[in-house]
Amino acid sequence: MQNTSRTTAAVIILGALFFIFGFVTWLNGTLIPYLRLACGLTDLQASLVTFAFYISYFVMALPMSWVLGRTGFKNGMTVGLLGMAAGALLFVPAAYARSYPLFLLGLFIIGSGLTLLQTASNPYITIVGPLESAARRISIMGICNKVAGILAPMILGALVLADADVFTAGLEGLSDADRAAQLDRLALRVVGPYSVMALVLAGLAIMVRWSPLPEVEAEGENDGGGSWVGALKHPSTLLGGSCVVPLCGC
């Protein structure tokens, strides 16, 4: 009975994390038109919104594997969540300054934390319960991820872009000062949602830190198989890495 309770608690925690994966990732689709309007972005600049998020997977994957080697998988998940919370909090000064570079930096930090979190959490799916039910747990994680992907643009869109057409029309004919004031107010719409997100991520970090999740021991640490140098010896790794950059620009 105790093992069943621990397994259930672990699955709930992992489900929450996979929900976060989907939620944070699918917010980018709403941020593109929002930042295009609030910061007056060109098409190229708007494309960098998603690029800043996804390029973090490519840039930070190897450094995050080093972090996991130092912290362990469970503590690594905590660090990843706290990193994502820091990136979300960066949206607050970015909104007040209406600073496009700060928004991009916040997205990059969120993506970096998510890189660490996903790398650390994926192995837990199979080890938190019986092996014969691992496929069922994987399916549950997928459902949590997809549900978040549906809800994220709906929620953020309702909060920051509900009256986008009316707002855009209202900018016509305004003086430069009045237009800037209106755009400043629009930029502040993300302060509340991303502040709440930061609090939720920090709360999840505390929950994971004291959760019943077991520690995962990485294999191959002593023989060099788990190092980034060893990984780069495999042609498939280099080929996969070379495909990340064009995919990030989609």
Domain segments of the chain as ranges: 2-218
Q: How far apart are CA 194 and CA 84, in angstroms?
A: 11
The type of residue at 32 is I
Please, are residues 202 and 89 in contact by the beta-carbon 8 Å criterion?
no
The type of residue at 22 is G
Instruction: Give me the tens of pLDDT residue by residue for the chain, a chain 250 residues long.
Output: 456 677 788 888 889 899 998 999 899 888 999 999 999 899 899 989 999 999 999 999 888 888 888 888 889 899 999 999 999 999 999 999 999 999 999 999 999 999 999 888 888 888 877 778 888 888 989 999 999 999 999 999 898 888 888 888 888 878 888 889 999 999 999 999 999 999 999 999 998 888 877 776 655 444 444 555 555 555 655 555 545 444 444 4
pTM for this predicted structure: 0.83
The superfamily (CATH) of domain 2-218 is MFS general substrate transporter like domains (1.20.1250.20)
